Structure 1
Amino acid sequence: MSPDPNPNPTPYPEPDFELASAHPEVTWLRQTAAVADWAAIRQYLDSFPPGSDRAFVVRVLAEVDGVEHALRQQVDAVPHDVLALTVFGARLVQIGWGIRTSARAKDVSREQFTAFHAHLRDAEQLLIRATAIDPSYDAAWAERLNTARGLSLGKNEARRRYDRLARYHPHHFTGQARLLQKLCPKWSGTWEEAHGFARECLLAASEGSLSGGLVAEAHMEHWLDLGADDKRAEYLRQPHVHAELVEAAQRSVFHPEFRRPYGWVTVQGSFAALFSLIGDTAQAAAHFRALGNLASEYPWGYLGDPAEMYVQHRDTALRGRR
Structure 2
Amino acid sequence: MPTAAPLPPPDFQLASAFPEAAWLEQAAAANDWAAVRQYVDGLPHGTNRSFAFGVLADVPGVEQPLREFVAAVPTDVFALTLLGTREVRLGWDVRTSARAEHVSREQFAQFHAYLRRAEQLLIRATALDPSHDAAWSERLNTARGLQLGQNEARRRYDRLAAYHPSHFSGQSRLLQQLCPKWSGSWEAAHGFARECMLNAPEGALNGGLVAEAHLEHWLDLRDKEKRTEYLRQAYVRSELTEAAQRSVLHPAFQRPYGWVSVQGAFAALFSLIGDTESAAVHFRAMGNLASEFPWEYLGDPVEAFTRHRAAALARG
What root-mean-square deviation, in Å, do the aligned CA atoms of Structure 1 and Structure 2 show? Answer: 0.8
Match of 2:179 among 180, 184, 202: 184
- Say whether 1:107 aligns with 2:106: no
Hey, what does 2:25 align to over in structure 1?
30
- What residue identity is the alignment partner of 1:310? F
Structure 2: tracts of 5 or more residues without a match? none
For residues 127-276 of structure 1, what are the structure 2 equivalents within 5 Å? 127-276=122-271
Q: Tell me how far apart the structure 1 counterparts of residues 303 and 156 of structure 2 sit (CA, whole Å).
A: 38
Q: Which runs of 4+ in 1 moved over 6 A?
A: none
Q: Tell me how far apart the structure 2 counterparts of residues 231 and 162 of structure 1 sit (CA, whole Å).
A: 33
Match of 1:303 among 279, 292, 298: 298
Count, aligned residues: 316
Match of 1:91 among 79, 86, 91: 86
Q: Tell me how far apart the structure 2 counterparts of residues 78 and 166 of structure 1 sit (CA, whole Å).
A: 28
Structure 1: tracts of 5 or more residues without a match? none
Is the CA contact 1:51–1:168 (under 8 Å) kept in the aligned structure 2?
no
- What residue identity is the alignment partner of 1:217? E
Match of 1:66 among 56, 61, 66: 61
- What residue identity is the alignment partner of 1:260? R
Residues 26-69 of structure 1 deviation map (CA, whole Å, 9 limit, x = unaligned): 11100111122222112111212222210011000000000000
Is the CA contact 1:15–1:293 (under 8 Å) kept in the aligned structure 2?
yes
Hey, what does 2:14 align to over in structure 1?
19
- Say whether 1:116 aligns with 2:111: yes
Q: Secondary structure at the match of 2:143?
A: helix
Is the CA contact 2:24–2:55 (under 8 Å) kept in the aligned structure 1?
yes
- What residue identity is the alignment partner of 2:135? A
- Summarize the Cα distance change of 1:79–1:203 in structure 2 as closer, same or farther, 3 Å threshold: same
Cα displacement (A) at 1:303: 0.5
Which is worse superposed, 304-313 or 45-54? Answer: 45-54
Q: Secondary structure at the match of 2:4?
A: coil
Q: Secondary structure at the match of 1:211?
A: helix
Residues 258-312 of structure 1 deviation map (CA, whole Å, 9 limit, x = unaligned): 0000000000000000000000000000000000000000100000000000000
Q: TM-score, normalised by structure 2?
A: 0.99
Q: TM-score, normalised by structure 1?
A: 0.97
- What residue identity is the alignment partner of 1:287? H
